[in-house]
Structure 1
Amino acid sequence: MSDAMWAGTVAFAGHEGAELEAYLARPLSEEPRGGVVVIHHLPGYDEPHKEITRRFASRGYAAVCPNLYSREGKDVSPDDQAAAVRARGGLPDEQVVGDVAGAAAYLNSLDHANGRIGVIGYCSGGRQTFLVACSLQIDAAVDCYGGFVVNPPPADSPFAMTPLLSKAPNLSCPLLGLFGADDKFPSPDEVKVLSDELDRLGKEHEFHTYPDAGHAFFAVDRSAYRPAAAVEGWKKVFEFFGRHLSSS
């Protein structure tokens, strides 16, 4: 399979018709392909997430990373956009769901789309991935260390996020969870609570917790990066999407 691709900035309509900037990477082949929505972390729409988007394209997927902070203004830097959103305690959940729905519709409008959509998110994007998977009909979801799914943020936290465990009965697709044993948000105890609830509900899921890894162990540009966990985690991601997003 050729890994030739096109990558660049695009735009599409998100929640309530708002125009979102986004980064698209897609193969140049004419093979039917699934789509992947990459949800960026709380620090915002950055180069590492564009690199992740290209990585999916190199594996045969059309992938898009929407800038969920686009409403902060076209002439505002990504760092300043992120700072403004953090100052407000994060994004409204319904807005995120609407924006990802727009991203999924955009991917399905592209030539050679096979109609299958996966979502993957990191940090706050992991929480938002679970939210999306419980709010939209998608085909596969990957939660990379998403906090505040089971418990609320600490009382002294600036974030206004609410737990999502009550939405678990609405999980629409298989869920892959990748976590660090040394993480605090979510802690291994919280991961177990979520797994137990999904077991009780009969929801398809597979969770993996890596030793000697904490939060953001996929982030190659941060001191939290843990190569062994990240390499193994990427294998799990591609195996999972390969099962659920392929055309065969």
Structure 2
Amino acid sequence: MSDTLSAATVTITGADGTEIEAYLSRPEGEQDVAPRGGVVVIHHMPGYDRATKEMVRRFAELGYDAVCPNLYHREAPGAAPDDAAATARAQGGVPDERLVGDVAGAAAYLRGLDSSNGKVAVIGHCSGGRQAVLAACHLDLQAAVDCYGAFVTGTPPPDRPITNLVERLPDLAAPLLGLFGNEDSFPSPEQVDELEQILQGQGSTYEFHRYDDAGHGFFAVDRPSYRVVAANDGWERIAAFFGTHLS
């Protein structure tokens, strides 16, 4: 754990060589001299907001370099999170190929820091949970965390220009931690069951935890969906998982 940290807006090179905004937080003090892992945080559909940046700082507190790329920077540079999210949705959302390129750029940025031990994980909530799994199916990552990501399995609605990831899951090389609410509909418990069956069948390394009385967004402290018990246990699981795979 680090008692002091730094946080700043930086520029990283994302997909197709495009420079995009990102939020970086790092430990300071004695831990600043020790090699450490990095965490790419993928923001949720509402965008690059205060709640997501608080999560980035929490990973720095846990002793990691952490960065969150602004996935909507191209559509709405400098816009408020809600406005940027609305603009991105109106244009069809973030294409999967671009997402993978932006996460690759964020991972390269972390590995380029003088504090890096070369290991990088990815984590996402909501739409970011699906995108974390997507990135882990394409990139050299040491760990991935899916917090209630919808449409990893299951059928997306017609207004969502995405597909599920079933055909890509054989390429998942990183260990996966999944945290899900049993009262959620996206993903539903049945969709989580389907994902677990696929991972078991292909011999993937994974760890799932499911929470009663928790629906979608149970980590979100600023929403009625917040569930203290589930969120606190989830954070402990994340810390232990990263401690195993990023040390």
Q: 1:164-179 counterparts in 2 under 5 A? A: 164-179=165-180
Q: 1:212-231 counterparts in 2 under 5 A? A: 212-231=213-232
> Quick check: 1:143 aligned with 2:146?
yes
Ranges of 4+ aligned residues in structure 1 off by more than 2 Å: 73-78
Q: Match of 2:137, as an amino acid?
A: C
The offset of 1:73, in angstroms, is 3.4
Q: Which piece of structure 1 moves more, 200-209 or 85-94?
A: 85-94
Show structure 1 runs of 5+ residues with no match.
Answer: none
Q: 1:45 aligns with which of 48, 56, 78?
A: 48
Q: Match of 2:44, as an amino acid?
A: H
| Overall identity of the aligned pairs, in % | 59
Q: Which piece of structure 1 moves more, 126-135 or 71-80?
A: 71-80
SS in 1 for 2:156: coil
Q: 1:26-175 counterparts in 2 under 5 A? A: 26-28=26-28, 29-155=32-158, 158-175=159-176
The offset of 1:172, in angstroms, is 1.4
- Find the aligned partners of 1:75 and 1:60 in 2 and give their Cα distance: 29
The offset of 1:76, in angstroms, is 2.5
- Find the aligned partners of 1:206 and 1:80 in 2 and give their Cα distance: 36
The offset of 1:78, in angstroms, is 2.2
Q: Tell whether the 8 Å contact from 2:76 to 2:87 is kept in structure 1 after alignment.
A: no
Q: 1:16-31 counterparts in 2 under 5 A? A: 16-28=16-28, 29-31=32-34
Note the alpha carbon deviations across 1:125-157, whole angstroms, 9 max, x for none.
0000000010111000000000011112234xx
- Find the aligned partners of 1:68 and 1:107 in 2 and give their Cα distance: 17
Note the alpha carbon deviations across 1:157-211, whole angstroms, 9 max, x for none.
x321211011111001100000000000100000011001100000000111100
Show structure 2 runs of 5+ residues with no match.
Answer: none
Partner of 2:5: 5
Q: Tell whether the 8 Å contact from 1:171 to 1:203 is kept in structure 2 after alignment.
A: yes
- Find the aligned partners of 1:2 and 1:46 in 2 and give their Cα distance: 23
Q: Tell whether the 8 Å contact from 1:181 to 1:187 is kept in structure 2 after alignment.
A: yes
Query: Under a length normalisation based on structure 2, what TM-score does the superposition of the two structures give?
Result: 0.96
The offset of 1:89, in angstroms, is 3.2
Q: Match of 1:17, as an amino acid?
A: G
Q: Which piece of structure 1 moves more, 68-77 or 178-187?
A: 68-77
Query: Under a length normalisation based on structure 1, what TM-score does the superposition of the two structures give?
Result: 0.96
Q: 1:199-214 counterparts in 2 under 5 A? A: 199-214=200-215
SS in 1 for 2:208: strand
- Find the aligned partners of 2:44 and 2:67 in 1 and give their Cα distance: 14
- Find the aligned partners of 1:137 and 1:87 in 2 and give their Cα distance: 31
SS in 2 for 1:165: coil
The offset of 1:18, in angstroms, is 1.1
Note the alpha carbon deviations across 1:80-138, whole angstroms, 9 max, x for none.
11101112332100000000000000001111100000000000000000000101110
- Find the aligned partners of 2:103 and 2:39 in 1 and give their Cα distance: 10
- Find the aligned partners of 1:202 and 1:48 in 2 and give their Cα distance: 35
SS in 2 for 1:90: coil
Note the alpha carbon deviations across 1:196-233, whole angstroms, 9 max, x for none.
11000000001111000000000001111001000000
- Find the aligned partners of 1:3 and 1:113 in 2 and give their Cα distance: 19
